[in-house]
Amino acid sequence: MFDISSIDFTPFYLSLKLAFITTIILFFATLPLAYWLSRSNFKAKPIIESIVALPLVLPPSVLGFYMLVFLSPYNFFGKFMEENFDIRLVFNFSGLVIASCIYSLPFMFQPLQAGFSSLPKSLFEASYSLGKGKWTTLFMVALPNIKPSLLTALIVSFAHTLGEFGVVLMIGGSVGDKTKVASIAIYEAVELMDYQKAHVYSALMLIISFAVLFLVYFFNAKQKKA
């Protein structure tokens, strides 16, 4: 008989913590960029959009390798963080956050940009004519009018970060209760042929992933009926 109490759920706590922090950072980091690009038209715009979308097509191993080089204490940024803030970014939770923000960037950015682009120019012109500034217009006018896109961006970014494997493996490895997230725990359970534990972890990830996607489709369906 399988004893559920023998399962260590710390990897799920780390995965949820990583996904939550990454989603919050990405929201505030990409919101101004998505808003600006949706209202702008200049020659370099496709270049910026291509850079932001790169994680969609780059193999996780390639992105993970370059992130490992970038965050390494033998490189400028990694060395700077370790010498000045005593933070080693590789095989550390802080490094996982940085890598996850880059890996999940397009999943937050693209729905927000699409949402802002769908809004009519008259909405912004009316706000400006009433004396509202750009930031007030963004938070008080634009955001409330793209609720489906906003929810999609938040939930899909959260879910994508939750299921990361390749990038987190290369940057964080499997350090006990620091970087061993759920996807890594599943991989290790399979390697050790502990299929019962792998089943439990995988089933939980399946349930969480389904619930997250269901929320997106359910909310969007309600918005269309409203």
pLDDT tens for 32-49 read 999 889 888 888 889 999
The whole-number pLDDT of residue 50 equals: 92
Locate tokens 């399979």: which residue? 190
d(CA 124, CA 137): 7
Tell me the pLDDT band of 3, cut-offs 50, 70 and 90.
low
* pLDDT of amino acid 75: 86
pLDDT at 121: 86
How large is the average pLDDT for residues 19-44?
Answer: 91
Q: Which residue has the tokens 């020659």?
A: 43
Query: For residues 16 and 105, what is the distance between their CA atoms, to the nearest angstrom?
Result: 17
What are the φ and ψ backbone dihedral angles of 111, each rounded to 5 degrees?
-65, -40
pLDDT average, residue stretch 185-201:
88
- Tell me the average pLDDT across 154-160: 90
> What is the average pLDDT score of the chain?
87
Q: How many other CB atoms are found less than 10 A from the CB of residue 88?
A: 16
Q: How far is CA 104 from CA 97, 160, 210, 220, 226, in A?
A: 10, 7, 19, 21, 30
Residue with tokens 């960029």: 33
